[in-house]
Structure 1
Amino acid sequence: MDYRRQTTFSWINTFSRSIMDIRAITIFNHLAHSLHFGRTSRACNLSPSALTRTIQRIEEELGKPLFQRDNRRVSLTPAGIIFKRYADEMEQRWQLLLQELGDNTRLHGEISLYCSVTAATSILPRILGVFRHHHPGVQIKLQTGDAAEALDRLNNRDAQVTIAALPEQLPESVSFVELARTPLLFIAPREGGLPVLDEDGSINWTLTPVILAEQGLSRIRIDRWLSDKQIQPNIYAEVAGNEALLAMVGLGCGVGVVPELVLEKSPLRDRVTISPITPELAPFIIGACTLQRHLGNPVIQAFWTTVHQVKASEDRD
């Protein structure tokens, strides 16, 4: 055994004997992926000072600094990179241990999910219904927010599974199960005289205010369409999320593009109209995402099996 590997095992053994705190490991792992003390503090329900003390305690036990910190960024030290590999494995082994020590007939643990409000009301209910029926011992932690943040939530360990639109380029580290497809619709206020039309019936983009999403797949696709048509839009506002965009259009502030699924589930659907002059945009492919390495976790694996089962059942229907 080379010196470096022997030293690493010494760190791990020392840490395991003196701390035996899987909570500290979980906190370290989150910070090692997010590289953001504020984000990890919020995600782990810790005060900034408590997070700092936890990391310092691990560093003191190992005798090595794990993070390099300055006013602008956080990064892993060489020791932190080495320890991260073992910390990931320790967290996964802990989950397996809980399963082996628990009731073999029931799955225990927790799973963190992230999706938009629309996905939470339209796609997730059937999946969670089946999963809870088969695995009542699993605690489900659900967060909702802008679908454009879904992959970042995965990479930052804020969520283990997300329900989101498939990006145009999916990272190799992400597993994806398609659950639905929804077209992108060009919407306008039901009242308010928008969009402004020229004499030939085409949209006057100079006079028509446009509401755009700040980020995400719909923004990418509408920007590309506008660029291809050499249209300089009259941008009224940029908002976070499809639900906010639909609300702005419903209030008569401008026109915009939203997925049909969002429109169908929105309480504001009667306040907008689908414009017959619709950009031809590729539809959203919506599904469940998780990092491939998460599939070694029995709870995530069980949820992934449920996703496939629900998908197969819906395909048969």
Structure 2
Amino acid sequence: MDLRQLRYFAVLAEERHFGRAARRLSLSQPPLSHAIRQLEEELGATLFTRTSRQVALTPAGTALQREAKAILQRAADARVLVHDIACGRRGRLRIGFSGSTVYRGLSHILTAMRTEAPDIKVALREMNSAEQVEALLHDELDAGFVHLRERPEGLDGILFHAEPFVTCLPVGHPMAATPDPSETRLIDLQHEDFVLFSRTVSPDYYESILAICRTAGFLPRVRHEVRHWLTVAALVAHGAGVALVPQALAGSQLAGVVFLPIPPSPIQSETWCVWKASAPAPGILETFLPQVRAAMKDLHDRSLA
């Protein structure tokens, strides 16, 4: 019993006439009659009573009509499902991100995905950059937002956003009273304790901050290393030190800290949107990436405003 036989049977069961059923199926009457005989032989049951004037369903035929409708509908649903998944209109998208990505347009991307592809279920996993790279290479994520200075080997990606670092100071800090960028001198922080993003968690961030301070004429006195940017800001708010953080973190509006610009530097905080080079879900990525590019443009436009 195959889907072709069931379709022939279902049409004949509706039409109750071989000629009309054959015309609906765009074939001649003999192939239809042959297919119905094959089906009856395979099932060991008579499905129709035939007279010169009419065709009627037997009780066995009536039972098969119900089942055939359900089977054919399931087959049609399966075709639509598979096609939608292949085209990126349905499925599950696993996205890795770090906490600061929330302030870099991630919410806009998620809103756009809900609008453009409501049948794609987005699953977020908060992970640091190194963890995301490992997860992507082992097919545990479909895409990620990592903070690195270049695209990792084995991954495809686009530079999502680049932004300057800013100082993060406790509210009562003397430099907090002079928010003019021309008066913000990093060398004035050389004797301060610094709170840094952990070197083991994100060596790129760590080295970037050291390089900025080195250019300013000193090496920071690193007192604390933590795993999350919000923890960096929270420790600064509680007087544990000062920090250099990506500009996006200023959008967190955390109490107890101020964010001041520093003199322009070629060293910036870069966020890459990456995915495995041999991605297992290209259809979904083709739906996802236009939303990422739209968020990139929005971030760029806002930075120019």
TM-score tier after normalising by the smaller chain length? 0.5 to 0.7
For residue 208 of structure 1, the aligned residue among 175, 192, 201 is 192
SS in 2 for 1:168: coil
Equivalent position amino acid for 1:128 in 2:
L
Number of residue equivalences: 212
Change (3 A) 1:123 1:309: closer
- Which runs of structure 2 are paired with 1:270-309 in the superposition (5 Å)? 270-275=255-260, 280=265, 282-294=267-279, 297-309=282-294
| 8 Å Cα contact 1:194/1:255 also seen in 2 | no
Change (3 A) 1:103 1:154: closer
| 8 Å Cα contact 1:120/1:144 also seen in 2 | no
| 8 Å Cα contact 1:115/1:144 also seen in 2 | yes
**1:130-154 deviations in whole A, cap 9, x for unaligned?**
2222222222111124345432332
Matching of residue 259 in structure 1 with residue 246 in structure 2: yes
- 1:307 deviates by 2.4
Change (3 A) 1:316 1:202: closer
Deviant stretches of 4+, over 3 Å: 98-101, 103-106, 145-150, 192-195, 225-233, 274-281, 308-317
RMSD value, Cα: 3.4
Quick one: distance in 1 between partners of 2:246 and 2:144? Answer: 18
- Report the equivalent of 2:136: 154
- Which runs of structure 2 are paired with 1:137-148 in the superposition (5 Å)? 137-147=119-129
Q: Which runs of 5+ in 1 are unaligned?
A: 1-97
Quick one: distance in 1 between partners of 2:226 and 2:144? Answer: 21
- Give the structure-1-normalised TM-score: 0.56
Quick one: distance in 1 between partners of 2:129 and 2:250? Answer: 15
Change (3 A) 1:236 1:292: same
Change (3 A) 1:187 1:304: same
| 8 Å Cα contact 1:173/1:292 also seen in 2 | yes
SS in 1 for 2:166: strand
Report which structure shows greater RCO (CA 8 Å, sep ≥6). Answer: 2
Matching of residue 248 in structure 1 with residue 235 in structure 2: yes
| 8 Å Cα contact 1:177/1:289 also seen in 2 | yes
- 1:249 deviates by 0.9
**1:228-278 deviations in whole A, cap 9, x for unaligned?**
5663432221111211111111111111110010122x242x422345766
Matching of residue 134 in structure 1 with residue 116 in structure 2: yes
Higher-Rg structure is 2
| 8 Å Cα contact 2:103/2:249 also seen in 1 | no
| 8 Å Cα contact 1:114/1:145 also seen in 2 | yes
For residue 209 of structure 2, the aligned residue among 199, 216, 222 is 222
Q: Which runs of 5+ in 2 are unaligned?
A: 1-76, 177-184
293-302 or 272-281: which moved more? 272-281
| 8 Å Cα contact 2:186/2:262 also seen in 1 | no
Equivalent position amino acid for 1:234 in 2:
R
Quick one: distance in 1 between partners of 2:273 and 2:82? Answer: 28
- Report the equivalent of 1:102: 81
Give percent identity, aligned residues only: 17
Quick one: distance in 2 between partners of 1:163 and 1:201? Answer: 29
- Report the equivalent of 2:94: 112
Equivalent position amino acid for 2:196 in 1:
L
For residue 162 of structure 2, the aligned residue among 181, 184, 198 is 181
Quick one: distance in 1 between partners of 2:299 and 2:175? Answer: 38
- Report the equivalent of 1:9: none
SS in 1 for 2:96: strand
| 8 Å Cα contact 1:186/1:278 also seen in 2 | no
SS in 1 for 2:196: strand
Equivalent position amino acid for 2:113 in 1:
F
- 1:280 deviates by 3.5
